[in-house]
Amino acid sequence: MPWLRPLAPALVLFVLTGCGGDDEPAPPPDVRSQPVEYRGAYAICSIGSVRYVAERYGVPEATPEAVADAAAKAVGSTSPKSAEFARRGCLDAIAARAPRRPGNEAP
């Protein structure tokens, strides 16, 4: 297999650096390129913890899903597709927040 010899250095580098498996965090979404519903809900849900956003927007249940639904209503989603963009924006903002210590949930 003489054709394999030129590929050996590249193969070694690939093995040494890893293949970029699932253990690496996904890059943050480029919020500016997303639809306006996504951006609005992302802004709403990035102001604090889920509990803080729920209190601020009068959501009785402080869960990511309930807050995402409230954010979709707050940005004025006009169709199921725009509501889904808004929910995704909120959930992405929640996921992007750094973990908070108990008692340190407010911004």
In a domain, 68, yes or no: yes
Which pLDDT value is given to residue 1? 53
In a domain, 12, yes or no: no
Residues 6+ apart with CB under 8 A from 79: none
**pTM of the entire predicted model:** 0.65
In order along its 107 residues, the chain shows pLDDT tens digits of: 555 455 444 444 444 444 444 444 454 558 888 999 999 999 999 999 999 999 999 999 999 999 999 999 999 989 999 999 999 999 999 999 866 666 545 55
In a domain, 103, yes or no: no
Domain that holds residue 77: 33-96
Residues 6+ apart with CB under 8 A from 56: 47, 48
In a domain, 19, yes or no: no
Q: How many independent structural domains does the chain possess?
A: 1
In a domain, 11, yes or no: no
